[in-house]
Chain A
């Protein structure tokens, strides 16, 4: 039976167990990497660096983690902080900013886009909502915590993001 995240972290902290760490890595890195790629467009090829930094920072803070959230959520929070730092450096829109006007950033409705490309064209706040909720399955409560916004804002951003995607991608959009 798979060991829980908590058991694996305990082994890493107590004995430096590399096998335990690799199990954690393989369990959580795909989500971290996909999220990093989609929130940054893998700008400068840095998604890999963000994931690297996330695990390094996590390893420095195991003692601070009180298991009030899932490990996945905690790791994603570290990743998003790293992404925000990069965005500030890139002087771009922060992840948690509520975007109300997408008319200048988004493609025209009749642009031919696949879903991945359409997500990539969403403004930062909308993109975070779509990627974290609809792709990775985080709850609005988790997203609110991760992005320092309230639950209503998370729901609003998701709704607007879906509406934008639906408008661009009809009739291929599936809601089932």
Chain B
């Protein structure tokens, strides 16, 4: 076994000094520990609170969260012919929101994911859905405000419109979202021609 005690001795000093090089961003530790908590690898902190408790703070960050509009390049040139999919992000009681003080990390995590999609030309649009609004029941066209906008399914707190050649590809994109790491759920629905 080789470790720090028996490293090669013939390293040029100038190259060895590059060990002072780029350091991981501070946010990365929180990102990884959050993901490992969500997977049950690390013991969840009892101080963690549901995301909707921090909705106001996140709403304040909504400008940064409007990912598609701010960060995505124009959809891929073949976007017109590539099927589009709506990803609806749900949160219920199982959702593990950010620990106090870590809200910005969550926003950055989702933003980073969306930016990756954007660079791949697979992101059409996306936004956080802030509290408010409601749903219409079959009795009439009256807006019914509710914290649980879809009974039994939790709140819809965001959406993305992506391009993907088929349902499996769309599901693969959705599966890469940090939302699932935080035990949220994602509905994947094909969009018809507009």
Is B15's CB under 8 angstroms from A51's CB? no
Beyond A48-B31, A135-B15, 4 additional contacts (C-beta under 8 Å) are: A34-B22, A59-B36, A130-B15, A136-B19
The answer to whether the Cβ of B151 comes within 8 Å of any Cβ in the partner chain is no
A-B contact count (CB 8 A): 130
**A48 near B25: Cβ-Cβ < 8 Å:** yes
Cα of A119 to Cα of B16 in the assembled complex, Å: 12
A 44-69 to B, binary, CB cutoff 8 A, 1 in contact else 0: 11111101100110010000000111
Contact A25-B32, Cβ < 8 Å, known A73-B2, A134-B11: yes
CB distance from A117 to the nearest CB of B (A): 11
Q: Is the CB of B3 within 8 A of A70?
A: yes
Q: Are A115 and B43 in contact (CB under 8 A)?
A: no
**Chain B residues within an 8 Å CB radius of A16:** 40-43
- Please determine whether A21 and B42 come into contact, CB atoms closer than 8 angstroms: yes
Question: Which residues of B approach A to under 8 Å, CB–CB?
Answer: 1-4, 6-8, 11-16, 18-19, 21-25, 28-29, 31-33, 35-37, 39-43, 45, 112, 115-116, 119
Asked if A137 meets B15 with Cβ closer than 8 Å, knowing A16-B41, A18-B42, A29-B24, the reply is: no
Q: Which residues of B contact A172 (CB under 8 A)?
A: 14
Q: Are B119's CB and A44's CB within 8 A? A: yes
Say yes or no for A100: interface residue by CB 8 A criterion: no
B21–A37 CB distance below 8 A: yes
Q: How far, in Å, is B10 (CB) from chain A's closest CB?
A: 9
B4 touches A137 (CB 8 A): yes
A52, B28: Cβ atoms under 8 Å?
yes
Looking at the assembled complex, report how far the CB atom of B156 sits from the nearest CB atom of chain A, in whole angstroms: 26
CA distance A173 to B23 in the complex (A): 24
Q: Assess whether A17 is interfacial by the CB under 8 Å rule.
A: yes
Find A137's partner among B7, B33, B35 (CB 8 Å cutoff). Answer: B7
The answer to whether A12 touches B12 (Cβ under 8 A) is no
Top 10 A-B residue pairs of the complex, sorted by shortest distance between their CB atoms:
A137-B7, A16-B43, A134-B15, A33-B24, A70-B3, A174-B14, A59-B41, A18-B42, A135-B18, A134-B11
Give the residue name and chain of the B residue nearest to A67 (CB): B1
Q: How far is the CA of A48 from the CA of B113 in the complex (A)?
A: 12
Cβ of A15 within 8 Å of any chain B Cβ, yes or no, is: yes
Q: How far, in Å, is A158 (CB) from chain B's closest CB?
A: 10
The docked-state distance in angstroms from the alpha carbon of A37 to that of B14 is: 18
The contact of A51 among B16, B24, B43, by CB within 8 Å, is: B24
